[in-house]
Amino acid sequence: MFSVGLLYSLISAILTIALIFYSIKKKSEPIFLISLMFLLISWSGIEWALWLEGYNLFTLVFEPIVPLASYFVGWGIFVIYLSETHFHRRDWIAFLLINLSIIAIASVCMDCL
């Protein structure tokens, strides 16, 4: 099942990248928002795969594990940059609020998500 979670995450990440490029090319904000949804799906696949192996992603990210934390921070900065340069500020703020609410729920109850 661990491999299924990583494959799920990889497919979502590839779709995210394709949709981001397509949304910039077509100047389409709805497609950009859909790409952000697939980015969240990709991150949930990583979280699920690690949870199946007995790891809590949220404790791993907030500890000083540089590659894992830089992956999420890098994507976050990239989303902020794209939203500010090509789309609206509300897009990355909503993305951040959704991420924070998912982190809050998952930190309290790992089996809830």
- Chain centre to alpha carbon of residue 10: 12
More confidently predicted of 106 and 92: 92
Q: What is the pTM of this model?
A: 0.79
Could you read off the pLDDT of 35-85 as tens digits, one per residue?
988 888 888 888 888 888 887 777 776 777 777 778 888 888 988 998 889
More confidently predicted of 108 and 24: 24
Give the pLDDT score at 111. 61
Give the pLDDT score at 113. 52
**Separation of alpha carbons 8 and 40, rounded Å:** 12
Give the pLDDT score at 60. 73
Q: Write the CA distances from 100 to 68, 76, 96, 104, integer angstroms.
A: 17, 12, 6, 6
Give the pLDDT score at 22. 92
pLDDT at 108 over 80: no
Q: Write the CA distances from 36 to 39, 58, 74, integer angstroms.
A: 5, 20, 14
Give the pLDDT score at 44. 81
